[in-house]
Amino acid sequence: MIDCFPQVQWAKEVDVSGKEARCGVRCATRDHLPMVGNVPDYDATLVEYASLAEKKDEAVSAPVYDDLFMFAALGSRGLCSAPLCAEILAAQMSEEPIPMDASTLAALNPNRLWVRKLLKGKAVLPSVPQNSAHKPCVNALTSIGIGSSLILPKAG
């Protein structure tokens, strides 16, 4: 690292003398794609899409929290995908043109995992009780295994 960044001080401050190993956990999804966009309204999605498997032609836009956004599940490809995902999120938040085609953008939609399960007629975990200490969106994200996410409210 020192060879790659000779001009910066922080590279020299990393102590590698102990030759210790470290491990960490990366937030990822089953399809290995990040989640970028409005935070899904989990309870409203379950109500709205309850019969989605039988009525696929009648599907409407999945319910979301309008001014709450997420940027999560970058997994092991975060260094490569973060700049484009950040640009997508910034465009969504500022209501500017999105720098990506619609089908690829849909593949990054945070609601895609629930909708995919509902389309197949599979059970989706029930919501966490309302008396929980967490916010509804955090409960919903935890229920699909997105434990560490960046959730951003839109500036007023």
Tokens representing residue 62 in the block: 């999945």
Which residues on neighbouring strands pair with residue 131, listed in sequence order? Answer: none
Which pLDDT belongs to residue 136? Answer: 47
How far CA 50 is from CA of 4, 98, 136, 156, in Å, comes to 53, 30, 19, 33
Q: Is residue 78 part of a domain?
A: yes
Kindly tell me if the per-residue pLDDT of 145 is higher than 50: no
Which pLDDT belongs to residue 148? Answer: 43
How far from the centroid of its chain's Cα atoms is residue 79's Cα?
Answer: 15
b vs e for 63-99, b when ≥16 Cβ sit within 10 Å of the residue's Cβ? Answer: bbbeebbbbbbbeeeeeebeeebeebbeebbeeeeee
Indicate the range of 74-78, 92-96, 120-124 predicted with least confidence.
120-124
Count the domains in the chain.
1
Domain extent, residue 88, equals 36-53+63-153
Q: Is residue 25 part of a domain?
A: no
Kindly tell me if the per-residue pLDDT of 140 is higher than 60: no
Q: Is residue 102 part of a domain?
A: yes
Per-residue pLDDT tens for 24-80? 788 889 899 999 999 999 888 888 877 777 776 766 778 899 989 999 999 888 889
**Concatenated DSSP letters of 107-133:** HT-TTHHHHHHHHTT---PPPPPTTSS
Which pLDDT belongs to residue 118? Answer: 80
